Amino acid sequence: MKEIKFEKNRKLDIIAIGRIGVDLNPNEFNRPLEETQTFTRTVGGSPANIAVATSRYGMKTGFIGKIADDSFGRYIVDYFKSKKIDTSGLVVDKNDNKTGLAFIEIKSPKESNIIMYRSDAVDLKIQMNEVSEEYIKSSKALVVSGTALAASPSREAVLLALKYANKHNTVVFFDVDYRPYTWNSLDETSLYCSLAAERSDVIIGTREEFDVLEGVDLPGNRDDDKTAKHWLNNSSKLVIVKRGKDGSTAYFKNGEKKLGEVFPVDPLKTQGAGDSYAGGVISSMIKGKSVEEAMKYGAGAAAIVVQENSCSEAMPTEKEIENFIEAYRKK
């Protein structure tokens, strides 16, 4: 894509910043959480999942975030290292804040929920002085998700990271990642997320997430074309609107739009689709694929992940995505 140019000769391809926690995935499916007996632990949180996805794709990936000074924090570090993710941007908290936990409930393939424990979650405690300008300068891209803007001091740290990225031509991907339980109001969400969107090169979100994002600027808008025009008139160069099983649409600054492929499958759950999609799109673009091709890889990754009982652990490699798409088309 000519409008988006990634700086060459940088130590890292991608740095993600923001929410990082522990997911507890049920070992028993198709039942409510109160009937679930056992769980399997993995690392979770949208930017953490995207970091795993991009690393699996072969990207040199780093992470900026705050972790607890306890066994869960050490588990996160070890997990990232096992996935070949650079951990030098992680900061260990010294104020006894705790890791956010997410219990996954899979009632049916169409009904899966998350029960979150995020009161004073440690990832929201990262300070401005704990974000390294040199670290961001060392990466081709920065991935930001909306949940990191839900509370101070994390929101100020993320906004500073965006300034650093803009200053050093580090391409910014903003995944809206709206989670209502982390915010005080829709107006607050719209205000801070729009501040991030205005400093982003690429914005990715569902139609529902764009509705929230535009609450201050375009209240009541539900039109994708109008959404794209608004953000592309700012600094953004690419807007991708996701519509689940109906695919996605990419909007370009020159007025073009491209429809993304979709690969409908019988899912086990719905969680992880957006993160795997983002990981596939971002990695593919950095590797030089067209946006249309990148959306295809993102859709393939999402189709793989929703069939598995995990988010981060289910993230596929580039080759696995290609094999899936080839087999899908043969069917």
The domain ranges of the chain are: 12-330
- The residue behind tokens 């019988």 is 266
Pure H helices in the chain: 46-56, 71-82, 133-137, 154-167, 186-197, 207-213, 224-232, 273-286, 291-305, 318-330
Which tokens in the block code for residue 137?
């300068």
The per-residue pLDDT for range 75-111, each reduced to its tens digit, is 999 999 999 999 999 999 999 999 999 999 999 878 8
Q: Please give the pLDDT value at position 110.
A: 80
Task: State the average pLDDT over residues 186-213.
Answer: 96
Residue 142 has pLDDT above 70, yes or no: yes
Give the per-residue pLDDT at 160: 98
Distance CA 189, CA 298 (A): 26
Q: Give residue-wise pLDDT tens across range 121-141.
A: 999 999 999 999 999 999 999
Average pLDDT, integer, range 155-177: 98
Q: What is the pTM of this model?
A: 0.96
CATH placement of domain 12-330: 3.40.1190.20
